[in-house]
Structure 1
Amino acid sequence: MCNHGARSAKSSSSSNSSSSQQQQQEEKKKKKTRMLVKFKDLPQYMKDNEYILDYYRCEWPLKDVIFSVFAWHNETLNIWTHLLGFLIFVGLAVMSSKDMGALLGNFSRASVSGPSMMKMNQLNVSDALFAPDSHLKQMSESFIYANKEDGFSTIPSWPWFVFLSGAMGCLVCSSLSHLFACHSRRFNYFFWRLDYAGISLMIVCSFFAPIYYTFHCNPYSRFFYLSSISILGVLVIITLLSPSLSAPRFRTFRATLFLTMGFSGVIPAVHALVIHWDHQPVIAALGYELAMAIFYATGAGFYVSRIPERWKPGKFDIAGHSHQIFHVFVVLGALAHSAATLAVMDFRRGLPTCVY
């Protein structure tokens, strides 16, 4: 149990009477409702980062836990960084379902002017692709397909929505975990395992869109890569659902597992570079994927090293500690992957229909 009375002055004398005990219990119950406690007063199962010294919610009633989303404590920014990220991807999903063609156009231009620093007129993409009266514009309202003019590829949009769903699932699971894990031992174990499963889910879902579109005309390679990452993802989720692996001492192991899953994408990326080396949009997409890898690796570095709070314990309890920085890099990495995926979709949409 949390030592909620650690911050209040102890009574100079104690009474053995039943009335006094009852009064103490009532006062203790009131203090338990909203009191923030120090790391040293936490139960063992909640002790994760010894460099965050204060402002912990500990075994709060569920109602107070819910309303703490609007209060300041050491999990506030952990909750909101991923909650805002979730809302960003909800917006992307809504935009995609309404006008996939416009979204592809905007991101393909960004991808070209970004990593590859190429101009649009250097690409083999017709200007008619973005014309208001083009066939693509007329067909882009469809939720299932994003089309170009007759004779060109018809690409399904479902892999893109698989990625968006995985990203939204991961981010909302993370926000919920940081919000509710303080309620009880049972909630703590459940929500942190849910958080790990959400991360694994997003990694797996991230592979679907770029692999599907890049190897759209290579069904065997596409099947092999998607099957491999799906199987690996299921195994990782099963592994991380083990209660023992939720312990703080396995922090490095968990980060390594996630990074291994993420960097398994190097093989299909090299394969894509070999077969599409002369297509600038693919190079641009790989540039975004490289940015994604850097964002994720940097975030994982903060997560494992616990920098900067290990340098000045207690100085970053509310804002600026490693987990908050990790969250920001996760959102940035997911956005970089979004841009890469949309660039690949636009590239695939501009190619002739596959001939098997």
Structure 2
Amino acid sequence: MLSLIKLPRVFTINQVPKVFHEDSIISGYRHPRSSATDCILSLFQMTNETLNIWTHFLPTWYFLWKLVTVVLMQKAWQDSFTWPMVIFLFTCCIYPLASSCAHTFSTMSVRARHICFFFDYGSISFYSLGSAIVYSAYVFPDKWANSSFHQSYITIAVFNTIICTILACYSRLGLPFLQYNHDIIKRFPEYQSPKLSKFLRVVAFAYPYLFDNIPLFYRVLLCEGEGCTDNATNILHYYHITLAFLTAFLFATHLPERLAPGSFDFIGHSHQLFHVCAILGTHFQMQAMEQDMKIRRSWLVENSIPITFANSVGPALLCVVLNLVIIFLYSLPLLLGPVCKDMKYSRGPKKDKLCPHS
């Protein structure tokens, strides 16, 4: 069937605008003004984004199945103790789905690229809050349960989530509500200083992760003696932590393609490996949460902070609303900016005709 469909052409790095360039990726680029149909068709051909999309789209359905299992089989709506797990699994569905959609449709235009990845960043920050909520409910070591840090943990995590989204969006476009013109893209952080832009994104995602995992790091790496919650779940936590740091390493270093530019354009570049490690890490994190929830339930109900709407569902809903507001504020200037009048293009992109932000 696909043999009867004319798949979109792919291009080299020299044929697409700088804003679409990926570090050490030489070929496999899609047209910088692809139609939505072309973007979908590109899922079935080899481009430098194909595996980025599938490595997050397929796991979305696995996490959705796990979410449905918890909601239906454990009757989560009747048991507030399972609410944090439901929220966490929901964020596990959202972030890979948002990522796969961002990678799919980011070549429709430069403004579409920015807006797609704003949603991607918002979903990652939402996932970080989901992790914090589930950690607060099930992971805190016995000796930290109901401590002052535990009581303020979710509030700080919400604040960190908002900072994460703002900083990640800022790394692409700087401050919103500038008066855009045809040359303004050259003053965007991602265009003017891509290394600084990448550093800001690493900080944006690393900071909430490190904060969220303080109780886990203490529990499995530092805590000794009574009250350290040393149970069979800890090995799963070790797997998750290892994969999380490997994920960050791949995202920050662009290895292995940096060692041999052009050799890993389609298979094996760092972003694909980053996606795989992130999903595997989330899988082990989910398994650890499930075990801690079951093994520690009776003790946590008696000794830890009671799970209520105010420390589970409420913060998650607040995070969704605030993230959408931030994304809207950053997207609005792009949507209101000038549109390039010359919309006629050949099958090969002509950079001198591209309106920089349209």
Once the two structures are TM-superposed, the CA of residue 164 in structure 1 deviates from its matched residue by 0.8
Structure 2 counterpart of 1:288 = 236
In 2, the alpha carbon distance for the partners of 1:289 and 1:96 equals: 21
Larger Rg: 1
**Residue 280 of structure 2 is aligned with which of 332, 338, 345?**
332
Q: Deviations over 1:326-350 (max 9, x none)?
A: 0001001111110111111012324
Matched, 1:55 2:28: yes
Once the two structures are TM-superposed, the CA of residue 179 in structure 1 deviates from its matched residue by 0.3
In 2, the alpha carbon distance for the partners of 1:264 and 1:352 equals: 22
**Residue 178 of structure 1 is aligned with which of 86, 103, 115?**
103
Structure 2 counterpart of 1:128 = none
Once the two structures are TM-superposed, the CA of residue 282 in structure 1 deviates from its matched residue by 4.8
In 1, the alpha carbon distance for the partners of 2:136 and 2:161 equals: 15
Once the two structures are TM-superposed, the CA of residue 229 in structure 1 deviates from its matched residue by 1.1
In 2, the alpha carbon distance for the partners of 1:262 and 1:286 equals: 18
The percent identity for this pair of structures is 25
Q: 1:186 to 1:266 in 2, by over 3 A?
A: closer
Matched, 1:144 2:77: yes
Where do 1:197-276 residues align within 5 Å? 197-214=122-139, 218=146, 220-242=148-170, 243-244=173-174, 246=190, 248-249=194-195, 250-269=197-216
Q: Which amino acid aligns with 1:57?
A: R
Q: Deviations over 1:64-110 (max 9, x none)?
A: 1122222221100000000112111011112212323xxxxxxxxxx
In 2, the alpha carbon distance for the partners of 1:301 and 1:73 equals: 24
Structure 2 counterpart of 1:95 = 69
Q: Which amino acid aligns with 1:226?
A: I
Once the two structures are TM-superposed, the CA of residue 174 in structure 1 deviates from its matched residue by 0.4
**Residue 193 of structure 1 is aligned with which of 110, 118, 130?**
118
In 2, the alpha carbon distance for the partners of 1:304 and 1:336 equals: 22
Structure 2 counterpart of 1:316 = 264
C-alpha RMSD of matched pairs (Å)? 2.7
3-state DSSP of counterpart to 2:287: helix
Q: Which moved more, 1:329-338 or 1:343-352?
A: 343-352
**Residue 351 of structure 1 is aligned with which of 283, 292, 299?**
299
Q: What TM-score does the superposition give when structure 1 sets the normalisation length?
A: 0.70
Query: What is the total number of aligned residue pairs between the two structures?
Result: 275
Q: 1:342 to 1:156 in 2, by over 3 A?
A: same
Structure 1 counterpart of 2:45 = 71
Q: 1:334 to 1:270 in 2, by over 3 A?
A: closer
3-state DSSP of counterpart to 1:157: helix
Q: What TM-score does the superposition give when structure 2 sets the normalisation length?
A: 0.70
In 2, the alpha carbon distance for the partners of 1:340 and 1:277 equals: 21
Matched, 1:165 2:90: yes
Where do 1:98-117 residues align within 5 Å? 98-100=72-74
Q: 1:287 to 1:145 in 2, by over 3 A?
A: farther
Q: Is the 8 A contact 2:128 2:212 kept in 1?
A: no
Q: Which amino acid aligns with 2:70?
A: S
Q: Which moved more, 1:219-228 or 1:328-337?
A: 219-228
In 2, the alpha carbon distance for the partners of 1:355 and 1:309 equals: 50
Q: Deviations over 1:156-206 (max 9, x none)?
A: 211001111111111111000110001101101111222122212111211
3-state DSSP of counterpart to 1:252: helix
In 2, the alpha carbon distance for the partners of 1:232 and 1:185 equals: 28
Q: Which amino acid aligns with 2:61?
A: L
In 1, the alpha carbon distance for the partners of 2:48 and 2:223 equals: 48
Structure 2 counterpart of 1:106 = none
3-state DSSP of counterpart to 2:26: coil
Structure 1: gaps spanning 5 or more residues: 1-30, 101-141, 147-154
Q: Which amino acid aligns with 1:241?
A: C
Structure 2: gaps spanning 5 or more residues: 1-5, 175-188, 305-358
Q: Which amino acid aligns with 1:191?
A: C
**Relative contact order (alpha carbons < 8 A, sep ≥ 6): 1 or 2 greater?**
2
Q: 1:145 to 1:276 in 2, by over 3 A?
A: farther
Q: Deviations over 1:22-51 (max 9, x none)?
A: xxxxxxxxx9x82211011111211232x1
Q: 1:193 to 1:314 in 2, by over 3 A?
A: same
3-state DSSP of counterpart to 1:80: helix
In 1, the alpha carbon distance for the partners of 2:117 and 2:228 equals: 41
In 1, the alpha carbon distance for the partners of 2:155 and 2:300 equals: 26
Q: 1:355 to 1:294 in 2, by over 3 A?
A: closer
In 1, the alpha carbon distance for the partners of 2:298 and 2:208 equals: 31
Matched, 1:83 2:31: no
